[in-house]
Structure 1
Amino acid sequence: MRAPFRDQRGVAKYRHEVLAVVLRAGEASRLQVLARRRDHEPFAGRLALPSGPVEVSESMEEAMDRHLADQLGLAGLAHREQLATYSDPGRDPFERTIATAYLGLVPCDRQEDLAIGAVWVDAVDLPELAFDHHLVVETALERLRGKISYTNIAFALAPAEFTMATLRAIYGAVLGHDVDVTNLSRVLRRRRQIERVGILAEPGARGGRPPSTWRFTEDSYRVTDPFAALGPGRGHEV
């Protein structure tokens, strides 16, 4: 590791970067995280979270948006929040680097052409990642699992309109266990998080009456019930 630059008073000047854990609800009720293949050392050829330095003229949020667009071709997030700061002196073998990580969410139906080298991977059964990025993903998953029970954060993972079956799959992907769709609907309607939009023109996969479509009542983050938690099994509040 090369020695840090020091100013005239001897104060070390460290590299400060931003890290982004961008999650979506993928197929088979699994969370996915967006990564890219590194083309240079250290850890050349290994997958890593999108990251990069913060310029003197920009905020950390602006830096993250810039790196997501430049490295991955991803423009805009449905939700973003600061996650944690990582400052282990040995986390970057090339130079002393302090990283501020962010959690970002995108809807499950969002379609866009990502940059070459960008790939969605399973966020729970992670492949080997560069640096300490597996720890960052684990922190992001813990944060999201906690917040999905007592906030409306699922709005950022859901399509603009959805069936309760789709929303159930999203909650299951985040929580890691099945959620009873009837109880989920009851809880979210009681909290006024969702509202009915209409009826699908076509019946569901099993036939019968077409399912209703729903939407979240707000498209910004809000704590709705600070003491609630969605338990396993039938998905009731505990």
Structure 2
Amino acid sequence: MSAPPALHEVLAAVLGIRDGRLRVLLWQRALDPDAGRWALPGGTLGPEEDVESSVRRQLAEKVDVREVAHVEQLSVFSDPARSPGKRRIATAFLGLVPSDADPALPEDTAWHEVDDLPPTAFDHAAIVGSARDRLRAKLSYTNLGFALAPAEFTISALRELYVAALGHAVSATNLQRVLTRRDLLVPTGETAAPGRAGGRPAALFRFTDRSLRVTDAFAVLRPPARPGGPRDGVLP
């Protein structure tokens, strides 16, 4: 007797920088299996949907999808034991929300630190880890920082976003040099208001475009080489 066909679901690991930390949107399950645990937004693929239109629909039902600056397919998770009961195959997506966006969230949904997750449902922690790793890799060789940053920013603020996403120190001077050399940043001609400490107003920049493109296929954002060595990470 043949096994019943597997269900196909779509899941979204939506990441963003909140309070200086890389966080993911999770919702708390109310029903078994894994009631009370935190899960990625998503659901079953509709009979007339492709996977991307399905995940965008699912996100629209959970968050304000207009605030999601970038969505891309991450991977397929097909371990037969990944969920109890009828077999489920998941197509997972990475979504990114700019740091100044504040999407409306249902009461059962909240931001959680990627590196300090609460108890998660099924294999969703592994999917979050894959999304984090994809983001970190693409920050090296694409312009994907646009999806984490507001429309305008200081170099210092952009550096803080990269530090939070990458999980290691990055030089503001080196970051500006490399992104400018790749024609990714342009000055707006405006300055940010001075902070409480006063000082010279900082110049505001923006990304030259806000759609994904490869800028240096072999680039790597590296952490500091050794304890006691250079404090800042290095871009080639």
Same fold (TM over 0.5): yes
Contact 1:204-1:211 within 8 A present in 2 as well: no
Distance 1:161 1:125 in 2: 29
Distance 1:176 1:126 in 2: 15
Distance 1:230 1:96 in 2: 39
Distance 1:204 1:187 in 2: 26
Contact 1:25-1:107 within 8 A present in 2 as well: yes
Pair 1:196 & 2:194 matched: no
Unaligned runs of 5+ in 1: 1-5
Distance 1:140 1:181 in 2: 25
- The alpha-carbon deviation at position 124 of structure 1 amounts to 1.3
Query: For residues 236 and 118 of structure 1, do their structure 2 counterparts lie closer, same or farther at Cα, with a shift above 3 Å needed?
Result: same
* Aligned match for 1:119, one of 110, 118, 124: 110
Pair 1:148 & 2:139 matched: yes
Mean Cα deviation higher: 108-117 or 185-194: 108-117
Partner of 1:22: 14
Query: For residues 201 and 222 of structure 1, do their structure 2 counterparts lie closer, same or farther at Cα, with a shift above 3 Å needed?
Result: closer
- The alpha-carbon deviation at position 201 of structure 1 amounts to 5.4
Distance 1:171 1:46 in 2: 30
Partner of 1:3: none
Q: Between the two proteins, what is the percent identity of the paired residues?
A: 49
Contact 1:199-1:210 within 8 A present in 2 as well: no
Query: For residues 33 and 201 of structure 1, do their structure 2 counterparts lie closer, same or farther at Cα, with a shift above 3 Å needed?
Result: closer
Mean Cα deviation higher: 187-196 or 226-235: 226-235
- The alpha-carbon deviation at position 170 of structure 1 amounts to 0.8
Contact 1:19-1:102 within 8 A present in 2 as well: yes
Q: Secondary structure in 1 aligned to 2:65?
A: coil
Partner of 1:166: 157
* Cα deviation code 1:153-209 (max 9, x no counterpart): 010010011111111011001110111111111111010101001233522343221
Q: Secondary structure in 2 aligned to 1:13?
A: coil
Partner of 1:105: 96
Tell me the TM-score normalized by structure 2.
0.92
* Aligned match for 1:95, one of 71, 86, 100: 86
Q: Secondary structure in 1 aligned to 2:47?
A: coil
Contact 2:96-2:148 within 8 A present in 1 as well: yes
- The alpha-carbon deviation at position 85 of structure 1 amounts to 0.6
Two-structure CA RMSD over aligned residues (Å): 1.5
Partner of 1:73: 63
Tell me the TM-score normalized by structure 1.
0.91
Distance 2:63 2:80 in 1: 31
